[in-house]
Amino acid sequence: MAYTANKPNAPDTRELRAKIPGWGVDLDPGMRPAAKKEVYDPASTGAHWEVPEQQIATFPRERSTEHREITPVFGTACPPKGLSGIIRRAAYRHWSEGQTMHWLALMFADRIDVLESLVVDLFRGKPDNFLAEWGIKAELTRHGFKSRFGRHRADTWRVPLDVLMLASSSLLVLGAGYVMVNGFKSMLAPPKRRWLFG
């Protein structure tokens, strides 16, 4: 009972040991590798350098303002490009990780990136197939209905909402993509002369 000094319902540890494979093998904190949070042991890591060699940057690599300089290694997966790239670079240049604006700008750039990529890949001949990319087939092959309904799941109430949000945001993306494609086309097309009287 919480109202007296003893711990309530102390379990029978012999019974637990018999019932549960491995019960108590790491009861001694000494057996737990990270029980002590910090263990100074630089020789154990496999590193044979004190300061790692510097990876060469082939493009201006963005970095957190909280770093003194670019780290010795860094990812080169998707260099910033387009409008989203400009926003991302600004987000890294202007705000530390402590500033909400840093993260909001990055989130905003993520959405712009989706739009830009939609249009660019259309022109690259790799148009997005939304149905395939959503993996909607899994609804059939992986028992969409049976998995969700009649099973006391806490998330079934929001299924219609999820669908609605996905549909509306996709329409928005597609619509904006359409406008961008058209704008782009008319930029490339020879200027039309429009005289007032044909």
Partner 1 sequence: MRAMVYRGPYRVRVEEKDMPTIEHPNDAIVRVTCAAICGSDLHLYHGLMPDTRVGFTFGHEFTGIVEEVGSSVQSLRRGDRVMMPFNISCGACFFCARQLYSSCHNTNANATAAGGMFGYSHTAGGYDGGQAEFVRVPFADVNHAIIPEWMSEEDAVLLTDACPTGYQAAEMGDIKEGDVVVVFGAGPVGLFAAKSAWLMGAGRVIVVDHLDWRLQMARTFAHAETLNFTQVNDVVQHFKDVTDNLGADVCIEAVGAEADGAGFQHLATVKMKLQGGAPTALNWAIDSVRKAGIVSVVGGFGPLFSAVKFGDAMNKGLTIRTAQCSVKRHWPRLFQHVKNGVLKPSAIVTHRLALDEIAEGYHMMSSKLDNVVKPLVFPRAA
* Choice between 70 and 181, CB closer to partner 1: 70
Q: Which of 53, 185, 187, 191 binds partner 1 (CB under 8 A)?
A: 53
Give just the sign of the alpha carbon dihedral 78, 81, 82, 83: positive
Stretch that binds partner 1, among 142-150, 178-186, 188-196 (CB under 8 A): 142-150
Q: Which two tokens stand for residue 48?
A: 């044979």
Instruction: Output 22 or 190, the one with its CB closest to partner 1.
Output: 22
Residues 172-191 that bind partner 1 (CB under 8 A): 173
Closest among 176, 189, 188 to 117, alpha carbons compared: 176
Instruction: Name which of residues 18 to 37 contact partner 1 (CB under 8 A).
Output: 19-27, 29, 31-35, 37
Q: Please report whether residue 169 would count as binding partner 1 according to CB under 8 A.
A: yes
Q: Using alpha carbons only, what angle is made at residue 83 by residues 191 and 97, rounded to the nearest 5 degrees?
A: 170
Q: Which of 59, 133, 187, 194 binds partner 1 (CB under 8 A)?
A: 133
> Among 178, 76, 81, which residue's Cα sits nearest to residue 127?
178
Using the minimum distance from each CB to partner 1, give the nearer residue, 59 or 197: 59
Which residue lies nearer to partner 1 by CB, 12 or 192? 12
Of 137, 149, 172, 178, which one interacts with partner 1 (CB under 8 A)? 137
In terms of C-beta density within 10 A (0-12 exposed, 13-18 middle, 19 or more buried), how is residue 162 classed?
Answer: exposed
> Does 95 participate in binding partner 1 (rule CB under 8 A)?
no
Rg (CA), the chain: 28
- Does 195 contact partner 1 by CB under 8 A? no
Binding mask 59-88 for partner 1 (x = CB under 8 A): --xxxx-xx--xxxxxxxxx-----x---x
Q: Which two tokens stand for residue 59?
A: 């493009």
Within 10 angstroms of residue 188's Cβ, the number of other Cβ atoms is: 7
CB of 193 vs partner 1, minimal distance in Å: 38
CA distance between the termini of the chain: 94
Give whichever of 124 and 185 is closer to partner 1, judged by the CB atom.
Answer: 124
* Token pair 């003194």: residue: 68
